[in-house]
Structures are given as C-alpha cells and as structure tokens.
Amino acid sequence: MALNASSARALSNGLRIPMVGYGVYELPSNRQTTEMVKKALEAGYRHIDTAAMYHNETETGLGICESGIPREEIFVTTKLDDPDHGFDRTLKAFRSSLQKLGLDYVDLYLIHSPHGGAQLRTESWRAMEQLHDEGLIKSLGVSNYGVHHLEELLEVARIKPVVNQIEIHPWLDQARIVDFCQQHEIVVEAYSPLARAEKADDPTLKQVATKYGKTWAQILIRWSIQRGYVPLTKTAQASRLPSNLDVFNFAIVKEDMETLNALNEDLHLGKYHGLLRPVGGAGSMTNKFVPLGDVAEQFHYDLLRY
C-alpha cells in the first residue's frame, strides 16, 4: 500500500511528515542512487532522507526531479555535515546542499550530529533559523542528539527542533531520549530501523514474523511505527521497496509489541560522531557503547571517525 495523507505524522510546527522514509546512505553507486530514488518514488515512498555526508545529494535530487512527481508531494531531508558547524559554514553548506539537490527548498534540515561543542552547535542553529526565515527550509531538526544536547538547544532556540533522528530498533530502545523527545513534541525518526539486517535471524523476531505472515523487515518497520517513530529504511534492492512500505494493513498486538520491546540490549550498530565510547575502551571489538560527555567528544571523535 502506498503512502497517503493518513500515513503521515504531524510535526509540532503544523507540517506533516510521511511515516516511512527511504534513506539513501551507501547505495552501491551514484548512478544507482538516482535509479533507486526514482523507483522508491514509483513504489509510493514520499519521504527521502539524504545528507551532505552521503555524497549523493546531486544524484538524489536528480531522481526526485526525473520522477515527475510534484515537488510538494515529496518530503526531502538533508543534513549539515560535522565539519560544517558554525554560522557562516552552515549557511554555505546548506546552499551547497540545496544546489546539489537542485531544489528550491528542503522540507527538513538536520544537524547531523552534535559534534563540535555547544558554541558551534548554537551558531549552526542560528544559521538554520535564518535559512528557515528565508523559506529555504520548512522544518529544522537534529540527529544523534542526546538529552543534554536537546536541553541545551531548547534553551536557545527561537525555532524549536521538530525532529531528532537517532538509531532505534528493538535492540536499542533509547528510552531516555525518546521520553524526552515525546515530552517536548519532537518527532523521533528511527534510523537503522532494520538493525542493518544484523538481526534477521533473531528467533523472537522470526517467531513474530511467522505469526503475522510478514517478513522480519516488515515487523521491524511496523514496530517502529507503532512506537510512534518515523522509520527510515534503506535497501539497494528495488524488489524490496514495495514490501518495506507494505506495513499499513496489519497491527502488532500489545503482547507482541512487549515481546519485541523486551529485546533491548542497548546495541548501537552505528559507531560515529564521537557520542559513544566502546565498553572496554577505544579500539575494542564490541557493539556495546556508553555515552560520552561533551568534554570527551572531540577526543573520541578523532579516534573513531577520522
């Protein structure tokens, strides 16, 4: 079933966001990005998630343009890359993203991560507010923000963030951040909602999928929707696009939601942006991470990301 008006969530600024997004991180080639974006739009997706960091905004924009679907029907997100924090850099980076996308505006612009320190983050936000005032960005948001980052932003923001995009799946419930976002009417977008396919063989997940006659991927996407999130799924296989969107004709009952909720093990599959420290120290081979404070952020960022 394709997305329609009833499969969108309300943002706190009165706009609407289609409930399932197609993420274009790491598609095998740039040419394929354009093709996949077109195929996703043909399949009914109306929400495309890219980032300057993905180096595919040009190809993504081409796919949107070549789809022939009216611009206003598509919700397009891109993100400010970490090295572009700061007022002037943000203005420049955003204009570059917009030009690459070949669009007149983006629906949502996110700070990709809080890396960089409080002052720089605040400057970036000021620049984003200006771009919002100019009508170039419809909604402002953040990504990979913890509670303390959000508190800091809410203190200074003239225009409040309407989205926090974070990694969430049943093995990583991010309960504290989710509670905070929900209290402040910040919509949670779930990235890596399929747990990057690393849990496809999980016996509990398989059992629930069998019960509903759905794929494990559909169960994870549906779980995310029923938790109130906006899942952003990625596939490089066109044949998987329709089924990843075909999640609006069934509901997971409370008992099975609870079974899936109980899978949480604080498993972070993304190890980036200096926000997390691997248990056992930098360089240890583990998927268990603990949050870092701001002071250690720069240090760890250098260790893990570049």
Ligand X SMILES: NC(=O)C1=CN([C@@H]2O[C@H](COP(=O)(O)OP(=O)(O)OC[C@H]3O[C@@H](n4cnc5c(N)ncnc54)[C@H](OP(=O)(O)O)[C@@H]3O)[C@@H](O)[C@H]2O)C=CC1
Ligand Y SMILES: O=C1CO[C@H](CO)[C@@H](O)[C@@H]1O
First and final CA of the chain: distance in angstroms? 41
Query: Of ligand X, ligand Y, none, which one sits near residue 13, judging by CB under 5 to 8 A according to partner kind?
Result: none
* Residue 235 interacting with ligand X (CB under 6 A): yes
> What is the nearest approach in angstroms of ligand X to the Cβ of residue 8?
18
> What is the nearest approach in angstroms of ligand X to the Cβ of residue 144?
5
Say if residues 186 and 163 touch (Cβ distance below 8 Å). yes
Nearer to ligand Y, 112 or 277 (CB): 112
Q: Rounded CA gap, 187 and 97, in Å?
A: 23
To the query of whether residue 54 is one of the catalytic residues in this protein, the response is yes
Query: Of ligand X, ligand Y, none, which one sits near residue 194, judging by CB under 5 to 8 A according to partner kind?
Result: ligand X
Amino acid (one-letter) located at 285: M
- 268 vs 18, 245, 265, CA distance in Å? 25, 24, 9
SS3 16: strand
Nearer to ligand Y, 117 or 270 (CB): 270
Among 165, 223, 268, 301, binds ligand X (CB under 6 A): 165
188 to 207: interface string for ligand X, x by CB under 6 A: ---xxxxxxx----------
Residues across the chain: 306
> What is the nearest approach in angstroms of ligand X to the Cβ of residue 300?
16
112 assigned binding-site residue: yes
Q: Which stretch binds ligand X (CB under 6 A): 8-16, 59-67, 240-248, 275-283?
A: 240-248
Residues contacting 143, CB < 8 A, separation 6+: 79, 110, 111, 112, 113, 164, 165, 166, 189, 191
Nearer to ligand X, 44 or 270 (CB): 270
Chain residues in the site for ligand Y (CB under 6 A): 25, 51, 112, 270, 272
SS3 4: coil
The angle subtended at Cα 166 by Cα 164 and Cα 169, nearest 5°, is 130
Q: Which positions from 263 through 292 interact with ligand X, judged by CB under 6 A?
A: 270
Residue 239 burial by CB count (10 A; 0-12/13-18/19+): exposed, middle or buried?
exposed
Q: Rounded CA gap, 141 and 210, in Å?
A: 37
* Residue 256 interacting with ligand X (CB under 6 A): no
Among 2, 154, 175, 236, binds ligand X (CB under 6 A): 236
Say if residues 48 and 60 touch (Cβ distance below 8 Å). yes
> What is the nearest approach in angstroms of ligand Y to the Cβ of residue 25?
4
Q: Which stretch binds ligand X (CB under 6 A): 114-122, 128-136, 186-194, 283-291?
A: 186-194
For the beta carbon of residue 6, count every other beta carbon within 10 angstroms.
Answer: 7
Beta strands in the chain (DSSP E): 8-10, 16-18, 21-23, 47-49, 75-80, 106-111, 137-143, 163-167, 187-191, 230-233, 276-278, 289-291
Nearer to ligand Y, 262 or 290 (CB): 290
* Residue 100 interacting with ligand X (CB under 6 A): no
Q: Which stretch binds ligand X (CB under 6 A): 19-27, 67-75, 100-108, 255-263?
A: 19-27
Query: Catalytic: which of 22, 25, 45, 54?
Result: 54
Question: Could you give the residue numbers annotated as active site?
Answer: 54
Binding-site annotation: residue ranges: 112
Known binding positions for substrate: 112
Give the residues lining the site for ligand X (CB under 6 A). Answer: 23-25, 49, 112, 143-144, 165, 191-197, 215, 217, 232-237, 240, 243-244, 270
